[in-house]
Amino acid sequence: MLKNLQVFTALILVLANFHTVKAEPVKLSYNSDWPPYSSGVGKSVAGILPNVMREIIEKRMGFRVLQTGSPWKRVQLQVKKGLSDAFVTVPTKTRLDYAYSSNNIVYSLEMRAIVKKDSTAHDSLKNDPGIQTFNKLRVCDILGNGFAKNFYGKHKIDYMTASNVQACLRMENIGRADVLIQPMATATSAIKSFGLEKVLITLPKIYAQMDFTLLLSKKSNLGAGFIKKFDAALTQMKKDGSYNELLLRLRKNN
C-alpha cells in the first residue's frame, strides 16, 4: 500500500512539473537597436522578427512567448547562459557550441552597400563594385557585429566601428566614413529616420546573404525536441503559403 502511494505521489509530481514547464512562456531575446527587424528595450521590443516568431511559436505551435529586447552582446550572453531560451540569428560555429539550430531558415537578409550620393565611394563602387574596392575606402560597421568580423576578416579589409547603424550613417554624412554594408530594410529605415533619402543611397549589388535560424539554448528546459516541432510548424507554413504571406505583410508594415 505504501509503495503504491509513493508511486502515485511521484506520478503527481512528474505531471505537475510537466504542466509547469508547459505553462512557462518561451523566452525569446532580440537586438533592441536593429529596426525594422527588432527594436525596443525589454517587453516593448517590436519588429519583423518578433512578429514572425510570435506567429510560428504562439499561433502555430501553441506556446506562449515572452519577447524582450536588449543590447546585442547581452542577448547572446543570455542565451548562452540559458537565461533566455532562444534567439534568431546566423548559426555560427561559436553559437552552435551553446545552442541547437533549426534546420529551417527563419529569415534571409541581403547585404548591400550604403554610400553618400556622388561621393568618391559612390563613384568607385559604380565603376568597380567588387569587394576589393573596399580596400580603398573607409569602411564602417557596428561594434560586436559578427558578420563584419567574418566578412571583412575573410577579405582582409580593415574597418572602423561605431555603436550602431545610425552612428555609421552620421559618419558617412559628415565625410568621416565612406561605406557601410547592411540589410536593405535596415539601411532604408535608418536613412529615413535622419531624413537623408536624397543624400545616402543603397547600391544594388548584393555582397552577402545572411540566413537566420532559430537558436535554442542547450541550457533551456525546452530541449532539442522543441526544435523539431518548430521545424515542422515552419515547414507547414512554407508549404501552405502562409509564411510568404506573413513576410509580405510585415515588410509592407515595417
Residues 70 and 115 in one domain: no
Q: What is the reported pLDDT for 254?
A: 72
Residues 128 and 100 in one domain: no
Give 198-222 pLDDT, tens digit per residue: 999 999 999 999 999 999 999 999 9
Domain count, the chain: 2
Residues 78 and 14 in one domain: yes
Residues 115 and 82 in one domain: no
Q: What is the reported pLDDT for 146?
A: 83
Task: Using the predicted structure, report yes or no on whether residue 17 has a pLDDT greater than 70.
Answer: no
> What is the average per-residue pLDDT within 110-139?
96
Q: What is the reported pLDDT for 236?
A: 98
Burial class (CB in 10 A: 0-12, 13-18, 19+), 46: middle
Give 70-81 pLDDT, tens digit per residue: 999 999 999 999
Q: What is the reported pLDDT for 4?
A: 56
Task: Using the predicted structure, report yes or no on whether residue 21 has a pLDDT greater than 50.
Answer: no
> What is the average per-residue pLDDT within 122-126?
96
Q: What is the reported pLDDT for 8?
A: 55
Q: Domain of residue 166: give its range.
A: 110-209
Residues 193 and 118 in one domain: yes
Residue-wise DSSP of 36-93:
TTEE-SBTT-BSHHHHHHIIIIIIIT---EEEEEE-HHHHHHHHHHTSSSEEEE---H
Residues 197 and 221 in one domain: no
- Higher-scoring residue by pLDDT: 185, 65: 65
CA 133 to chain centre: 28
Residues 40 and 119 in one domain: no
Residues 102 and 223 in one domain: yes
**CATH number of the domain within which 227 lies:** 3.40.190.10
